[in-house]
């Protein structure tokens, strides 16, 4: 353990030299951040001062098997000793085994994987494959991509312009990438098309996407990309009609359907992949995070045989490469991670404990008028806070609701940072009901205090 004064020295060095994700060093210095984490097991991590914390979201909804699994380290070490990388135009045993495993566990005819380093790269790869697929078929007018308002698909140059997230404004990076079209989200709590039930909202939103396609010439649309459940909007679960309708729309207009399972995949929603809840097989599926529980960088773009077959032939290959694509150490770690998920039935645990967690949050809603909605599936859950349940109004910015909650959570031993009035919850899949009770107890106390402070009775 690092001594207290050494921990403070490290913190100061981080403020001087490190550029962290979505934080600025001035506010971090004022708030006593960043925490420097030195160890972890399950949901719990230990900082450089020796304090224990519960990581409510398991990294970025990504440490699916929990912290401290030395089996992953051993698998990575063994592979690194055996072969740490590979010569050009070759591959390695674990990379082949991982591709085969993904073909076995992904739905339908998804069978060929292009491994990359992260979710943004996986979605960039999916867009390139979709556009190149149409060109291979001499359908050269297709370049436009339909995504949905409020979605998030990454931060690299192309996928940055998919969807939109108020927490990630894009003004610094204009001009916008050409050919981006935006449809509505099937969020029945705030359905922009006036749907009053999940089914009605799902139907109207799917029909609106079809109309968007018709209004912008279907023969110019290359792909439609969507997360099965959109986390930035607080994990609204679409009505049963929605995904089958999207599949039908894409089939009728010759559009490639891309399911972004970067967060939803590998058990997060109580099935191995969220698309399985609706029996839909996309043309391309992107995966990351849970594929390796973030123990190392890894993601993949998994493609159906129908799409992949267009790239066979010496002069027909996909012009696309990343230095770390197919890295054998990450592949070996991912195989062990998937083995743990399967052997320990973590997908079933996500379904069962997720249902328990959601029920506990519903009980909180009964006791706290500040909670407008509880939603989600498996261990992908959200609470939306409101100042008035009837009008669904939020809170004035000057009340600093998110900042108040962040401070309360920190005082009560939770690493649970929120940026708006939506509290997204995505813990490791190994969470127990007793750990759920610990988290819910802090939420109960914190929301009660907040309600008093903002004079919400």
Does pLDDT of 361 surpass 60? Answer: yes
Least trusted range by pLDDT, from 8-12, 103-107, 132-136, 392-396: 8-12
Does pLDDT of 380 surpass 60? Answer: yes
Does pLDDT of 1 surpass 60? Answer: no
Where in the chain are the domains?
A: 1-34, 43-64+345-453, 70-343
Give the tokens for residue 236: 């609204």
Does pLDDT of 25 surpass 80? Answer: no
Task: Please choose, from the candidates 242, 174, 167, the residue with its C-alpha nearest in 3D space to the C-alpha of residue 204.
Answer: 242
Does pLDDT of 2 surpass 70? Answer: no
Q: Are 244 and 228 in contact (CB under 8 A)?
A: no
pLDDT value, residue 287: 98
Q: What is the mean pLDDT of residues 230-252?
A: 96
Give the tokens for residue 126: 């999916």
Does pLDDT of 4 surpass 80? Answer: no
Least trusted range by pLDDT, from 20-34, 88-102, 169-183, 435-449: 20-34
Q: Indicate the DSSP class of residue 159.
A: G
Q: How long a stretch of residues is the chain? A: 457
Percent of the chain with pLDDT over 90: 81
Q: In sequence order, which residues have a C-beta less than 8 Å from that of residue 391 and are 6 or more positions away?
A: none
Q: CA–CA separation, 142 vs 217, rounded Å?
A: 10
Q: Are 291 and 300 in contact (CB under 8 A)?
A: yes
Q: CA–CA separation, 106 vs 34, rounded Å?
A: 38
Q: What is the mean pLDDT of residues 285-298?
A: 98
- Bridge partners (DSSP) of residue 299 are 116
Q: Given this structure, which CATH class describes domain 43-64+345-453?
A: alpha beta
List, for residues 311-359, the tens digit of each pLDDT value: 998 888 898 989 999 999 999 999 999 999 999 999 999 999 999 999 9
Q: How many CA atoms lie within 13 A of 446 on its CB side?
A: 24
Q: What is the mean pLDDT of residues 162-190?
A: 85
pLDDT value, residue 31: 77
Q: What is the mean pLDDT of residues 196-205?
A: 97
Does pLDDT of 166 surpass 80? Answer: no
What's the pTM value of the predicted model, to 2 decimals?
Answer: 0.94
Does pLDDT of 289 surpass 60? Answer: yes
Q: CA–CA separation, 291 vs 174, rounded Å?
A: 32
Q: Which CATH number fits domain 70-343: 1.25.40.10, 3.30.413.10, 3.40.710.10, 3.40.640.10?
A: 3.40.640.10
pLDDT value, residue 3: 46
Residue 175: asked if its preceding bond is cis (omega within 30°), the reply is yes
pLDDT value, residue 457: 57
Q: CA–CA separation, 261 vs 268, rounded Å?
A: 10
Mean residue pLDDT across the chain? 93
Most confident of 17-31, 244-258, 301-315: 244-258
Give the tokens for residue 360: 């506990």
């Amino acid at each position: 353990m690092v001594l207290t004064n050494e921990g403070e020295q490290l913190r100061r060095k981080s403020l001087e030299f490190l550029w962290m994700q979505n934080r600025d060093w001035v506010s971090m210095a004022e708030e006593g951040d960043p925490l420097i984490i030195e160890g972890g097991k399950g949901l719990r991590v230990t900082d450089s001062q020796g304090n224990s914390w519960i990581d409510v979201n398991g990294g970025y909804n990504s440490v699916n098997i929990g912290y401290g699994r030395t089996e992953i380290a051993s698998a990575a070490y063994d592979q690194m000793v055996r072969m740490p990388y590979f010569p050009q135009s070759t591959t390695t045993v674990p990379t082949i085994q991982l591709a085969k495993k993904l073909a076995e566990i992904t739905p339908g005819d998804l069978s060929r994987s292009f491994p990359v380093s992260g979710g943004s790269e996986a979605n960039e790869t999916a867009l390139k494959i979709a556009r190149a697929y149409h060109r291979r078929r001499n359908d050269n007018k297709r370049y436009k991509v339909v995504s949905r308002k409020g979605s998030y698909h990454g931060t690299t140059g192309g996928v940055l312009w998919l969807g939109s997230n108020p927490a990630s404004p894009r003004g610094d990076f204009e001009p916008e990438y050409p050919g981006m079209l935006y449809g509505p989200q099937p969020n029945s709590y705030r359905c922009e098309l006036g749907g009053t039930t999940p089914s009605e909202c799902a139907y109207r939103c799917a029909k609106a996407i079809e109309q968007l396609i018709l209004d912008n010439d279907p023969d110019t649309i290359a792909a439609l990309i969507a997360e099965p459940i959109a986390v930035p909007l607080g994990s609204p679960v679409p009505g049963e009609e929605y995904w089958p309708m999207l599949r039908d729309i894409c089939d009728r207009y010759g559009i490639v359907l891309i399911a972004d399972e970067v967060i939803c995949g590998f058990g997060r929603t109580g099935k191995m992949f969220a698309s399985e809840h609706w029996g839909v097989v996309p043309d391309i599926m992107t995966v990351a995070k849970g594929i390796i529980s973030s123990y190392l960088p890894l993601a993949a773009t998994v493609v159906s045989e129908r799409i992949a077959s267009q790239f066979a032939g010496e002069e027909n290959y996909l012009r696309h490469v990343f230095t770390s694509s197919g890295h054998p150490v990450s592949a070996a770690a991912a195989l062990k991670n998937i083995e743990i998920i399967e052997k320990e039935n973590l997908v079933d645990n996500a379904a069962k404990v997720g249902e328990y967690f959601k029920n506990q949050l519903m009980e909180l809603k009964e006791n706290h008028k500040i909670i407008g909605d509880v939603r989600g599936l498996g261990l992908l859950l959200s609470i939306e806070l409101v100042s008035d349940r009837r009008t669904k109004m939020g809170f004035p910015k000057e009340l600093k609701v998110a900042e108040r909650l962040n401070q309360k959570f920190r005082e009560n031993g939770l690493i649970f940072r929120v940026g708006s009035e939506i509290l997204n919850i995505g813990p490791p899949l190994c969470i127990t009901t007793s750990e759920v009770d610990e988290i819910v107890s802090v939420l109960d106390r914190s929301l009660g205090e907040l309600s008093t402070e903002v004079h919400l009775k």
